[in-house]
């Protein structure tokens, strides 16, 4: 009876954790792409063609709330919860034996993935950042932590619990991972690595056919088609997703991680791998290299996820994922500790406790001094645990909250009258959804993600096609202090010649697609090379739009640095005619594709002047007279990139628009 009660309560807890709750909706980057993924599933937009992003057709399961997809989210997560519980309870009971220990281990294994950073409004209506509890599927990055738990369950189940080529639990986990692989591309990478290692073990150690590999591949195809996707676009989805992944370190790295954090994470991960490797060697001898390789690969991907873009959210994900791995390691070690002598048992427990403490310390550092205890009390309160059940029983309440949030966003971002479909630049799709507009996105629907020439060209080609949106809401809001015209830089000439500026009131410019596109021309001006740290004077060209292409190529050391960690950040300093010198972030992939270098167009008023027949009087002081390329290091130089950098300059000519009345509205 005790065993059944423990299993049942663990199942209930798992369901509570996995069920989608009602996260708040805010006009932030993350909520904008989450909402877009929900709309993409509902409207069967084709991934790899209509949508190119780091997520797949089931990406809406990552988080967010959207009435048309809520029931689907609940059903899918309920099924996933049962599979996760079944496998997790089997692992816990196998290693610990004791029902109470098994229950605590599984609850901890599940619950760790619930404390992540989120956004909410304070009493004054301002959207702020904070931490949410474990009840319900969080709307943020707990999915990434939970995926680590999924792949480790499959890995440890195969190598340490069920020593057969494939079992029912392993098969269901593989099928579930096929679905989760179409949520986020990094999950596909993790799952493919683990499934591939198990398949290799099937062949070389067990001398059996690796059924798990075709089962995993078939599940991906099945869920791809089930999401309303064309089978012929699956390959395009994989290729485009790989492009986004390959360019991530260059474009999306942020901040400088403290060397203590990086080294400590790697040491803790190495100890987890070593302890697991010891058990694997005792059980499988030389074939123990397979689970060690799988665990090492998962922790390395976790390290990259946490410390390439080094901020509170991503480092918290890394810390919690490390805690999940440490709990898995503790489970594997437990039977060995029970049979070992007292000294070895104490030493090993002390080591595991040290790893758990370090991971917990890394996680708690992002909490306010008095916030952690309050958070844990809230997490395990009856109200918090029953919140998903309340949400399921009262879906009208969720829709009411959702409507209130959209109303608040409409008030913050009023939309102009729009006829026909619309797209929005550079992001903030939440404002578009709140305004009730017919959203028709470009492929890379958030501009900061078009960070390679190929991705930027997808968006530019879309604007040239007959499928482009009739209206565009346009604002300049670069991510991470990038040079303003870099994001979607290849699209700017298309926007200037295929769209007319119709309204400048509000936060966004309203651009209307013109019936007869104007033509633009690039005339070669100069080709030269620039060394890092060297100031280059641009050719004197008054009232001229200068287009630049920069070949900033990695050295061999830079390629290794990118593969193992991240290269140095590249900066661009521009000297303006009005005497100012300003530093910006320079993304090598975007710079290679091309962008408007001069004048400096940093806001919507400058963009209007750029398009206007008489706008140069307002841009004269913004003409760039000199540039300096450097690295964000103390010396300004780096061995991660080849120097000199090849620079090509062109004059961009295009017909201007008579925007006298529009500019008057802007000035008002």
In this predicted structure, the answer to whether residue 551 has a pLDDT above a threshold of 70 is yes
Q: How far is CA 400 from the centre of its chain?
A: 28
Fold that domain 521-667 belongs to in CATH: Jelly Rolls (2.60.120)
Range of weakest confidence among 9-13, 98-102, 337-341? 337-341
CB-based contacts of 121, cutoff 8 Å, min separation 6: 24, 26, 127, 128, 408
pLDDT band at residue 644 under the 50/70/90 scheme: very high
Q: Which long-range contacts (CB under 8 A, 24 or more apart) does 121-126 make?
A: 121/24, 121/26, 121/408, 125/408
pLDDT band at residue 569 under the 50/70/90 scheme: very high
Q: Say what angle helices 312-339 and 342-364 make with each other, to 10 degrees.
A: 170
Residue indicated by tokens 């591949």:
217
Instruction: Establish whether the linkage from the previous residue to 644 is cis, with ω within 30° of 0.
Output: yes
Most confident option among 3-7, 133-137, 254-258:
3-7
Cα gap 238→244, rounded to integer Å:
10
In this predicted structure, the answer to whether residue 300 has a pLDDT above a threshold of 60 is yes
pLDDT band at residue 661 under the 50/70/90 scheme: low
Task: Give the DSSP letter string of 593-650.
Answer: H-EEEES---SHHHHHHHHBTT-HHHHGGG-EEEEEEEESSSSS--SSB-SSEEEEEE
pLDDT band at residue 478 under the 50/70/90 scheme: very high
Domain regions of the chain by residue span: 2-385, 413-513, 521-667
Other Cβ atoms closer than 10 A to 357: 12
Give me the mean pLDDT over the 71-99 stretch: 92
pLDDT of residue 350: 73
Other Cβ atoms closer than 10 A to 649: 22
Percent of the chain's residues with pLDDT above 90 = 60
Range of weakest confidence among 272-276, 367-371, 487-491? 367-371
Q: Which stretches of 552-589 are assigned E, i.e. beta strand?
A: 570-576, 581-586
pLDDT of residue 375: 59
In this predicted structure, the answer to whether residue 392 has a pLDDT above a threshold of 90 is no
pLDDT of residue 420: 93
Which tens digit of pLDDT belongs to each residue from 155-192? Answer: 999 999 987 888 999 999 999 999 999 999 999 999 99
pLDDT of residue 123: 43
In DSSP terms, 254 is beta-bridged to 309
Task: Give the DSSP letter string of 118-137.
Answer: EEEE-TTS-EEEEE--SSSB
Percent of the chain's residues with pLDDT above 70 = 87
Query: pTM for the whole thing?
Result: 0.91
Which tens digit of pLDDT belongs to each residue from 18-52? Answer: 877 655 567 788 889 999 999 999 999 999 999 99
Which tens digit of pLDDT belongs to each residue from 210-236? Answer: 999 999 999 999 999 999 999 999 999
Backbone angles phi, psi at 349, to 5 degrees: -60, -40
Which secondary-structure segment (H or E) carries 548?
Answer: strand 545-551
pLDDT of residue 28: 80
Average pLDDT, the chain: 86
Give me the mean pLDDT over the 447-465 stretch: 95
Q: How far is CA 31 from the centre of its chain?
A: 12
In this predicted structure, the answer to whether residue 614 has a pLDDT above a threshold of 60 is yes
Range of weakest confidence among 101-110, 454-463, 542-551, 657-666? 657-666
The C-alpha angle 9, 14, 15, rounded to 5 degrees, equals 100
pLDDT of residue 141: 53
In this predicted structure, the answer to whether residue 595 has a pLDDT above a threshold of 70 is yes
pLDDT band at residue 416 under the 50/70/90 scheme: confident
């Amino acid at each position: 009876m005790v065993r059944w009660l423990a299993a049942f309560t663990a199942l209930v807890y798992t369901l509570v954790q996995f069920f989608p709750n009602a996260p708040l909706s805010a006009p932030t980057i993350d909520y904008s792409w989450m909402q877009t993924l929900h709309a993409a599933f509902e409207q069967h937009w084709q991934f790899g063609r209509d949508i190119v992003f780091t997520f797949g057709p089931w990406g809406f399961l990552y988080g967010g709330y959207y009435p048309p997809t809520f029931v689907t989210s609940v059903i899918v997560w309920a099924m996933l919860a049962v599979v996760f519980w079944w496998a997790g309870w089997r692992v816990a009971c196998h290693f610990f034996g004791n029902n109470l220990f098994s229950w605590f281990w599984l609850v901890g294994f599940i619950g760790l993935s619930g404390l992540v950073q989120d956004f909410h409004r304070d009493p004054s209506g301002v959207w702020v950042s904070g931490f949410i509890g474990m009840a319900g599927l969080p709307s943020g990055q707990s999915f990434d932590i939970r995926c680590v738990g999924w792949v480790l369950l499959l890995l440890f189940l195969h190598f340490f619990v069920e020593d057969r080529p494939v079992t029912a639990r392993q098969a269901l986990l593989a099928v579930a991972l096929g679905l989760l692989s179409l949520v986020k591309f990094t999950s596909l990478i993790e799952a493919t690595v683990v499934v591939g290692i198990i398949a290799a073990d099937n062949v070389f150690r067990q001398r059996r056919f690796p059924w798990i590999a075709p089962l995993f591949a078939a599940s991906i195809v099945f869920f791809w088609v089930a999401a309303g996707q064309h089978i012929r676009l699956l390959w395009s989805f994989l290729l485009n997703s790989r492009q986004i992944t390959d360019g991530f370190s260059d474009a999306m790295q942020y901040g400088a991680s403290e060397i203590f954090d990086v080294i400590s994470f790697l040491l803790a991960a190495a100890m987890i791998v070593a302890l697991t490797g010891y058990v694997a060697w005792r059980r499988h001898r030389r074939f123990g290299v397979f689970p060690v390789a799988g665990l090492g690969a998962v922790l390395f991907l976790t390290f990259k996820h946490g410390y390439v873009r080094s901020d509170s959210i991503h480092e918290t994900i890394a810390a919690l994922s490390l805690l999940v791995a440490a709990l898995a390691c503790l489970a594997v070690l437990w039977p060995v500790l029970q049979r070992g002598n007292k000294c070895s048992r104490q030493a090993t427990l002390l080591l595991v406790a040290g790893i758990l403490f370090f991971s917990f310390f890394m996680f708690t550092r992002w909490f306010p001094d008095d916030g952690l205890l309050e958070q844990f009390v809230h997490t395990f309160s009856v109200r918090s645990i029953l919140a998903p059940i309340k949400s399921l029983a009262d879906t009208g309440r969720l829709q009411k909250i959702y409507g209130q949030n959209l109303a608040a966003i409409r008030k913050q971002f009023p939309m102009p009258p729009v006829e026909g479909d619309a797209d929005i630049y550079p992001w903030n799709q939440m404002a578009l959804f709140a305004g009730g507009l017919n959203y028709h996105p470009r492929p890379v629907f958030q501009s900061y993600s078009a960070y390679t020439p190929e991705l930027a060209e997808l968006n530019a080609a879309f604007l040239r096609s007959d499928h482009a949106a009739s209206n565009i809401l346009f604002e300049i809001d670069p991510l991470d202090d990038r040079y303003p015209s870099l994001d979607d830089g290849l699209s700017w000439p298309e926007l200037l010649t295929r769209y007319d500026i119709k309204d400048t009131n509000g936060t966004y410019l309203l651009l209307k697609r013109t019936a007869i596109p104007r033509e633009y021309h690039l005339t070669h001006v100069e080709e030269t090379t620039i060394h890092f740290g060297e100031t280059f004077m641009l050719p004197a060209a008054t009232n001229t739009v200068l287009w630049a292409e920069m070949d900033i190529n990695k050295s061999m050391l830079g390629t290794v640095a990118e593969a193992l960690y991240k290269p140095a950040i590249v900066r661009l300093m521009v000297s303006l005619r009005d005497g100012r010198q300003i530093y910006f972030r320079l993304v090598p992939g975007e710079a290679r594709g091309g962008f408007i270098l001069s004048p400096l167009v940093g806001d919507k008023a400058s963009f209007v002047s750029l398009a206007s027949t008489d706008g140069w009087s307002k841009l004269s002081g913004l003409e760039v007279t000199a540039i300096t390329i450097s690295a964000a290091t103390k010396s300004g130089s780096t061995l991660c990139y080849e120097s000199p950098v090849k620079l090509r300059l062109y004059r961009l000519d295009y017909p201007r628009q008579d925007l006298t009345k529009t500019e008057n509205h802007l000035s008002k």
